[in-house]
Copies of this chain bind each other. A is one copy, B any other.
Amino acid sequence: MPEYIDLTHIHTDDMPVYPGDPCARLYQTSWIKENGFSDHIIEGGMHVGTHMDAPLHMIESGKLISDLRIDQFKGRGLLINARGKTKIEPDILTPYTLCKGDVILIWTGWDKKFGTDQYYKDWPYFTEEFCDRLVNADIAMVCMDTPGPDLDAPFPAHKLLLKRQILIVENVTGLETLQDKENYIIHAYPPKYMADAAPVRVFAEIL
């Protein structure tokens, strides 16, 4: 049996959302004892919890989640140590060799603040020079344990990455579990939503 490590926050009712976004609701509406079956209702935006941004999020006429191919959702994982940084700059890549198609994981440890007032304030963001390095390496996807690669508008990091079809996965968790792993594949599968983004199941398959 291969070893899998789930890197996804549990999506709960009224979980924290990006400042200004609508509330994220996920609540039960039917119970077995009353109706013979359970059901739940979801209400909210797409940028909630662990989720993937497709190019349309920031690029005019960009691809929707439902336009992406299955083979875009996996790649060799590479954990980048960014703990203690207030911004993510190219120098943190020095110990690593990035390859075309890689899935880069930016490990800051910020996920430990998830659910507190600090999580959505002044998280480590990507500089434009750092994004240029990811673009030049032609990676497939970048995942981060923070709310996103930008702190605020006009969202230069999102635009640099999505323009080049690099998928962005925000609010992952548990990256510290990969620090003693050598070889693994990262998988990140969204539902086939006709939308600019979607919740995503992200996990590592240890080789």
Binding site for B on A (CB under 8 A): 1-2, 4, 6, 8-13, 21-22, 26, 28-29, 32-33, 36-47, 49-50, 56-60, 66, 69-71, 153-155, 158, 187, 189-201, 203
Q: Which residue of B lies closest to A35 (CB)?
A: B153
Are B194 and A13 within 8 A (Cβ)? yes
Q: How far is the CB of A194 from chain B (nearest CB, A)?
A: 5
Contacts of A189 in B (CB 8 A): 187, 189, 201
Add 17 more A-B contacts to A11-B193, A42-B43 (CB < 8 A).
Answer: A4-B71, A6-B192, A21-B39, A28-B195, A29-B45, A36-B153, A37-B57, A37-B58, A40-B46, A40-B195, A40-B197, A41-B45, A42-B193, A49-B192, A70-B201, A190-B191, A191-B201
A33 to B21, CA, bound (A): 18
